[in-house]
Amino acid sequence: MSISEAQASPEKTEKTEKTHKTYIEGFDKYLGGGIPSGHIVLISGAPGTMKSTLAFSMLYNNAKEDLAAGLYVTLEQSRSSLIRQMEKLGMFVGREFGVEILDLSVFRQGEEDWMGDFGEDGRRESPWFKKFRNILETQKKVIDYDLVVIDSLPLVEIVCGIKNSRYGLFRLFNWLRDLGTTTFIISENPPDEKVVRECDFMADGILHLFLEKSPELSVSRVLRCAKMREVNHDTGYHVLEYKDRKFWSSPKRYDVGRVLSQL
């Protein structure tokens, strides 16, 4: 057997772990090359930090560069509004571009009726949880997407009747892992980074975005990988910008004296 044949054997290729790049210029090297396939990653931050745009950008660029099909599930913004927003930023939607948008914002109607009856185990079940799962599983069969974005976690918790339920979150995350996709979940983040939520423990990774004011009163978007299982990643802060139809990052250099004075 030749060296080239040995390198191409199934036994060799199966051991290669697949990763998905973020396609944030200058950032993937700090993630050891990218996000491991099959991970559930929270994209958390305050309003205005471009969480949705960043998530869509990762789907779009993975489809464009790696032919990885993507599905963006929105329970917040309408499909037409999201399409207009992304097209203005130079990103396009549709099967031919490798990214589909699934608009489930209709689930928000009649939210007072979403909470279902108590199940046999004494926990309240939502009739929408099964429906939500069936829709995504059906889309998986139709599109066979590799990456999925769910926008957003607070609304999924309401729709599925699992708000403030550790058991419900555990069940949701286990089901998402069973889908066999890499999942990005958009989540609002409390102002204090020291506050840890149930979903932070269950997620495989956390990309945290926030806005930072300078002494000159200018505002910068900052990105930090707070967690990424199976990756020897950098935990530092990076300035995040969107220009020339892509995201760019650069390590944030802090004035140590100024930071210590604020502690």
Domain ranges of the chain: 36-207
The per-residue pLDDT for range 29-44, each reduced to its tens digit, is 999 999 999 999 999 9
- pLDDT interval class at 252 (50, 70, 90): confident
pLDDT at 161: 79
pLDDT at 90: 95
b/e burial code for range 208-228 (CB count within 10 A of at least 16 → b): bbbeeeeeeeeeebbbbbbbb
The per-residue pLDDT for range 193-248, each reduced to its tens digit, is 677 888 999 999 999 999 998 777 789 999 999 999 999 999 999 999 999 999 99
The Cα angle at residue 50 between residues 45 and 56, in degrees rounded to 5: 110
Between CA 125 and CA 15 the distance in angstroms is: 40
The Cα angle at residue 183 between residues 140 and 66, in degrees rounded to 5: 75
Is it the case that residue 7 has pLDDT exceeding 70? no
CB within 8 Å of 143: residues ≥ 6 apart: 69, 71, 95, 100
The residue with greater pLDDT, 162 or 71, is 71
pTM: 0.85
b/e burial code for range 134-155 (CB count within 10 A of at least 16 → b): eebeebbeebebbbbbbbbbeb
What sign results for the dihedral spanned by CA atoms 130, 135, 137, 138? Answer: positive
pLDDT at 260: 40
Span of 39-53, 80-94, 108-122, 209-223 with lowest mean pLDDT: 108-122
The per-residue pLDDT for range 179-193, each reduced to its tens digit, is 999 999 999 876 666
Most confident segment among 60-74, 96-110, 194-208: 60-74
CATH code linked to domain 36-207: 3.40.50.300
pLDDT at 254: 56
